[in-house]
Amino acid sequence: MKVKIFDEEHESDLEKSINDFLDSKDVDVIDIKFQTAVSVFGEEQIYCFTAMIIYH
């Protein structure tokens, strides 16, 4: 069993990263965990979209 963690600033970038990973390998996905976080830095909102793929 292995894990792969993805961390992107935009949800579309996260989708692309995950799809590229799944297309490039012959993996048996066990589970995908997803999380979104937001923080404020001054007047700017910073988003963090993360996912962890557990696979064989």
For residue range 28-54, list pLDDT tens digits in order. Answer: 999 999 999 999 999 999 999 999 999
How high is the mean pLDDT of the chain?
96
Residue 54 CA to residue 31 CA, distance in Å, equals: 5
Cα gap 30→2, rounded to integer Å: 10
Question: What number of CA atoms fall less than 13 Å from residue 48's CA on the CB side?
Answer: 9
pTM (global) more than 0.85: no
Q: What pLDDT, on the 0 to 100 scale, is given for residue 4?
A: 97
Q: Which CATH number fits domain 2-55: 3.30.360, 3.30.70, 3.30.1660, 1.20.120?
A: 3.30.1660
Q: What is the mean pLDDT of residues 10-33?
A: 96
Dihedral angle at the C-alpha atoms of 17, 20, 24, 30, nearest 10 degrees?
60
Looking at residue 3, what is its pLDDT? 98
Could you tell me how far CA 52 lies from the centroid of its own chain? 6
